[in-house]
Chain A
């Protein structure tokens, strides 16, 4: 799946590309804002992320131009979080609207949802680290031909650790990540989930995959 990023701030463009590539998407962008709509359409992307404040013409104009030729899903990302902008974006055919500073997980979730809705069948999004593969759609891990399914929380923990390969993630950050769901888990629930996850990993032959860094957090 290819995502085209229309954003004039190079730092954000670059970081978004990195983030999305980590989660298995391909990214494209352009800094030629005169012909940005054509570039987006020509890139063969499956989804467009669109900023509103752009040089030469604003994002609404670009959105309209794209809509004249195509029904590609468009998510508007903007710092102008007024109601007017939100209504305007949705009225001229954008599919979703997120205001800055957005939560990366929320952005990813919306991209995933929109892609799933538009294309019905979706490529499996998989993360691989040290031989272990995590399938994010099926919530399944596999290692040397063995498969095990995970609960939502277990997958959340493993995903966070695998995306940040080798980095230590503190406990509060893991809890925060899991809070994105509707439940508010606490320290004890996290302990339980870590233990269960370790057990599942051991069952498929990776007993020391998840490491505890005393006083700091966890890493894989």
Chain B
């Protein structure tokens, strides 16, 4: 609150004061009061007004400046109302009262929304576990009665299962406190697990996975990493040209281990490349292939960020795409205190 702003705000009262000072001067002059008395009367009159104004200004300035400072520094701004001291002037009291009521309403709404989203997430979690039972029994039935028809049904069941997994990881990725089970594993076993999940579509696409020197130890959450690698494999299958080839290779550096997943598919145009991790972004390729949802890479990126894995994509349109996952090494994680 600046003095000029304050005075501008009081412009009407100032004008009234000046007018009444002039009128007073006129009145006293008319009844032929000596000039010294007129001057004294005017000084008393104006001084009283200025003192009242100054008192009001300093009182309000100190209060509102404190309020502004608090609003700037607080992280949970919706708690502002709770922390305010009661001011000694009427407007401020009304303001604080309204603020408190608004904040209380806001906080109630926020906690309701949080509660609802937590309940929804829990429901999704239990739904995923329930749906797995019928999928399991259906797959066992097929295992006991394999023929061309049931095996095609099995392919569909596997697709359902991968979609269900995606739901599970989506629900988990929004969970702030979900911690990962980090364990010692190798790139080889992560890639193998992911390839097994997508073995059937890969074989049907005539794809050939090539694994080069993946016997490198990493510390990672195997389930989530397998899921991410699976999403990348599934993209490679979806956006393939003839003779699909997926090559997995690795590079060890001082603080990290990189896993490169390269395919020889249709690639991603330079315009689309920066946005592939955006939620719901399907781009040019997505419009050509109806099955794109724009969730897979978004979710992968989200999970990787939580696991301190750097996920990036480079691509040559028409030549292929390379996805890189950079795993921090155990010693580096320890040094960083993670």
- Indicate if the CB atoms of A12 and B137 lie closer than 8 Å: yes
Q: A180 to B199, alpha carbons, bound, how many Å?
A: 9
* Contact indicator A104/B140 (Cβ below 8 Å): yes
A9-B133, A15-B137, A79-B132 as given contacts; A180 in contact with B196, CB under 8 Å:
yes
* Segment 69-114 of A: residues with Cβ below 8 Å from B: 79-81, 83, 100-104
Q: How far is the CA of A4 from the CA of B166 in the complex (A)?
A: 33
Query: For chain B residues 143-163, which have a beta carbon within 8 Å of chain A?
Result: 143-148, 151, 157, 161
Q: A19 near B203 (CB under 8 angstroms)? A: no
A9 CA to B181 CA, complexed, in Å: 30
B204 at the interface (CB under 8 A from A): yes
Contact present for B140 and A16 (CB under 8 Å): yes
B208 at the interface (CB under 8 A from A): yes
Contact A102 B200 (CB under 8 A): no
Are A100 and B136 interface neighbours, CB within 8 A? yes
Whether B139 contacts A101 by the Cβ 8 Å rule is yes
Interface of B is mostly: helix
Docked complex: A171-217 residues within 8 A CB-CB of B: 172-173, 175-176, 179-180, 182, 184, 186-187, 216-217
B147 to A15, Cβ gap below 8 A? no
Q: How far is the CA of A11 from the CA of B280 in the complex (A)?
A: 38
CB <8 Å contact, B136 and A12 = yes
Of all chain A residues, which has the CB nearest B197?
A: A103
Q: Which of chain A's residues has its CB closest to B161's CB? A: A101
Report which of B140, B141, B144, B148 forms a contact with A216, defined as CB distance below 8 A. B148
B209 neighbours in A (Cβ, 8 Å): 184
Please give, as numbers and ranges, the residues of chain B lying within 8 Å of A168 by CB-CB distance.
147-148
Q: Which of A15, A80, A186 has the most CB of B within 10 A?
A: A15
Contact A167 B192 (CB under 8 A): no
The verdict on B130 contacting chain A, using a C-beta distance below 8 Å, is yes
- Chain B residues lying within 8 Å of A186, measured Cβ to Cβ, are 206, 208
B135 and A101 within 8 A (CB)? yes
Q: Which of A79, A160, A172, A184 contacts B136 (CB 8 A)?
A: A79
CA distance A172 to B317 in the complex (A): 30
Q: Say yes or no for B279: interface residue by CB 8 A criterion.
A: no
Q: Which of A11, A160, A169, A176 has the most chain B CB within a 10 Å cutoff? A: A176
B129 within 8 A of A: yes
The reply to whether A170 and B148 contact each other, CB–CB distance below 8 Å, is: yes
Instruction: Give the chain B neighbours of A100 by CB distance below 8 A.
Output: 132-133, 135-136
Q: Which residues of the partner chain B approach A163 to less than 8 Å between Cβ atoms? A: 146
A182 to B186 Cα, complex, angstroms? 14
Chain A residues within an 8 Å CB radius of B307: none
B195: Cβ under 8 A from any A Cβ:
yes
Q: Which residues of A contact B161 (CB under 8 A)?
A: 101
Contacts of A102 in B (CB 8 A): 136
Which residues from A are CB-within-8-Å of B208? Answer: 184, 186
Whether A80 pairs with B137 at a CB distance below 8 angstroms is no
Query: With a CB–CB cut-off of 8 A, which chain A residues contact B132?
Result: 79, 100-101
A151 proximal to B (CB < 8 A): no
Among B143, B195, B208, the one with the most A-chain Cβ atoms within 10 Å of its Cβ is: B143
Does A138 touch B at the CB level, under 8 Å? no
Size of the chain A interface, CB-CB below 8 angstroms = 37
In the complex, residue of chain B having the shortest beta-carbon distance to the beta carbon of A51:
B133
Residue pair B144, A19 in contact (C-beta under 8 Å): yes
Q: Are B200 and A15 in touch, CB under 8 angstroms? A: no
Tell me the complex Cα distance, A173–B134, Å.
22
* CB-based nearest A residue for B164: A101
Taking the closest CB of chain B, its distance from the CB of A187, in whole angstroms, is 8
* Bound: A160/B206 CA distance, A: 21
Please determine whether A172 and B204 come into contact, CB atoms closer than 8 angstroms.
yes
Q: How far is the CB of A66 from chain B (nearest CB, A)?
A: 23
Whether A122 sits at the interface, judged by CB under 8 Å, is no
A119 to chain B, nearest CB (A): 25
Q: Residues of B contacting A22 with CB < 8 Å?
A: 144
Residue of B nearest to A102 (CB): B136
With contact pairs A79-B133, A176-B199 given, residues A12 and B140 touching in the complex (Cβ less than 8 Å): yes
Q: Which residues in window 1-33 of A have CB below 8 A to B?
A: 9, 11-12, 15-16, 18-19, 22
A164 contacts the other chain (Cβ, under 8 Å)?
Answer: yes
Contacts of B195 in A (CB 8 A): 179, 184
Are B203 and A15 neighbours in the complex by a CB distance under 8 Å? no
Known pairs A104-B140, A167-B145, A173-B151 / 12 extra A-B pairs, C-beta < 8 Å: A12-B136, A15-B140, A79-B130, A79-B136, A100-B133, A167-B147, A169-B148, A169-B151, A170-B151, A179-B195, A179-B203, A186-B208
What are 15 sample pairs from A and B whose C-beta atoms fall under 8 A apart?
A9-B137, A11-B141, A19-B140, A19-B144, A53-B129, A79-B136, A80-B129, A83-B181, A100-B132, A101-B136, A101-B161, A163-B146, A164-B145, A167-B146, A172-B204
| A residues with CB within 8 A of B | 9, 11-12, 15-16, 18-19, 22, 53, 79-81, 83, 100-104, 160, 163-164, 167-170, 172-173, 175-176, 179-180, 182, 184, 186-187, 216-217
Residues of B bordering A, CB below 8 Å: 129-130, 132-137, 139-141, 143-148, 151, 157, 161, 181, 192, 195-196, 199-200, 203-204, 206, 208-209, 223
The 4 A-B residue pairs with the shortest CB-CB distance, nearest first, are A15-B140, A79-B132, A11-B137, A101-B136
